[in-house]
Amino acid sequence: MIGRIYDQRLEWKRCIPALVSSHRTLFTVLWIMGFASLFIWQRNLLVDGLWGLKVDAKPMPMLRPFAFNLTDFGGKGDGVTENTKAFEKAIMEIAKLGKKGGGQLNVPPGDWLTAPFNLTSHMTLFLAEGATILGIEDEALWPLMPPLPSYGAGREHAGPRYGSLIHGQHLKDVVITGHNGTINGQGPSWWKNYKQKLLNYTRGPLVQILWSSDIHISNITLRDSPFWTIHPYDCKNVFITNVTILAPVFGAPNTDGIDPDSCDNVVIEDCYISVGDDGIAIKSGWDQYGVAYGRPSTNILIRNLVVRSTVSAGVSIGSEMSGGVSNITVENVVVWSSRRVMRIKTAAGRGGYIQNITYRNITFDNVRVGFVVKTDYNEHPDAGYDPKAYPILGNINFINIHGQGVRVPVRLHGSPEIPLRNLTFRDFSVGISYKKKHIFQCSSVQGRVIGSIIPAPCENLDLYDEQGNLIKRGAQNVTDIDYDF
């Protein structure tokens, strides 16, 4: 019995080395697997969390009763797959939900290549952080549309025009927003073809909404539009907030930032705009077509902007203004390294009016010309315009204006047929960088200066003290426009 127990112990001792050896092997394998798992987990965390390649760092909020992801309809954000059908299918589903509060289409992180598509009413298009909608470069996939009725022709060619990348008409309650996602029109190919005269139709805007109401655009970036960037046309209640609009300041022709056109009740605020033409251009139709259409742009508030325009102006009115422009306030705007700060442009043949305009709290640095009114901007859709359709310009106010590094602070170019009436300058101080005799230039202008103005105003304007007492009447019909400047 004792011998049997001894033999069993001896056998157990013989097994221990083999057992330990096998456990070491097992432990080594498990350790390697655990380390590898930890490495893969940390790598995924780094890629997903820090570089933002797979997940959205900010959850997309629920802004409508129903929400869909573009991927639910076969969308692929690889920058190569065309997603036009995915957008169209998703928007068709949202169109069914109008009576239930509408729907939200979420565009996740990725590059979503698409041809132009149409929005629907009661819709929110939400672009996640890291999401980019890319306009397809093949112009054959951009639909052709008839000319706008107040233009009578495409802006660059007679006949049809290209539609916009994101389009809508006869809509109500549309929101385009996000976590600063991007809409990219991939404009360079369009600009190149335009310069080489290879296009037979007017280029399309990036976002164009027509005959609609209650439009909200916010918290996104729009860049490299083929033509104008945001173009609301004959719309009411348009609100554009906290938007960044970018295009090269040279070599990107006609890439206006925001162009309210025959619109009523518009607010544009808290935006950064740096583009290849006007930062903002208020319009209302072109010559006889705009007169006949008869829809003014009115009740527009533009505030809290930073704008750069090396080709045109920070904020313009016209030149297409034949339906009339009135009740415009531009305030708290900074313009830097630009050709002009603010410009009004029109011509004989336009008809219409520009009146009740206030520029307030405008600051600028390093610009060629500060404020310009130009009445000979002679571009016409065809020969059918009335050359005696003279626009009416008046009641324009410049209050609390300050700048530096300016060559010509003011250039008011009226004419006997198109005089400038009832202009007011108050609290105006601009440091000039170009010593010239006529640095405050006027022609066919009537108005007033209240208080001290730097530099000295032109002779056409009446001078008043701060209490509103007349000091000196302005001279009549004095012209000091430097046409060679």
Active site residues: 277
d(CA 133, CA 224): 12
Amino acid letter for position 292? A
The per-residue b/e assignment along 433-458, b for 16 or more CB within 10 angstroms, e otherwise, is eeeeeebbbbbbbbbbbbeebeeebb
Cα 200-140-157 angle, rounded to 5 deg: 20
**CA dihedral of residues 338, 341, 342, 348 (deg, nearest 10):** -50
The CA–CA distances, whole Å, from 145 to 154, 205, 209, 397 equal 9, 12, 13, 39
Smallest Cα–Cα separation from 222: which of 196, 254, 255, 175?
255
Both tokens of 274, joined, read 């740096």
First to last CA, the chain: 123
Q: What are phi and psi of 331, to 5 degrees?
A: -145, 155
CB neighbourhood size of 244 (10 A): 17
Task: Give the E-state strand segments of 136-204 in sequence order.
Answer: 144-145, 161-162, 166-169, 172-178, 182-184
| Residue whose pair of structure tokens reads 């009576």 in the numeric block | 99
CA distance 262 to 150: 9
Q: Report d(CA 30, CA 43) in Å as an integer.
A: 20
Closest CA to 280 of 351, 328, 214: 328
Q: Whole-angstrom Cα distance, residue 397 to residue 228?
A: 28
**Contact residues for 158 (Cβ-Cβ < 8 A; gap 6+):** 381, 382
CA dihedral 385, 390, 395, 396 (to 10 degrees): 60
Helix H or strand E segment including 155:
none
Query: What is the sign, positive or negative, of the torsion defined by CA atoms of 363, 364, 370, 375?
Result: negative
Q: Is the peptide bond before 455 cis (omega within 30 degrees of 0)?
A: yes
Of 295, 234, 237, 244, residue with least CA distance to 272: 244
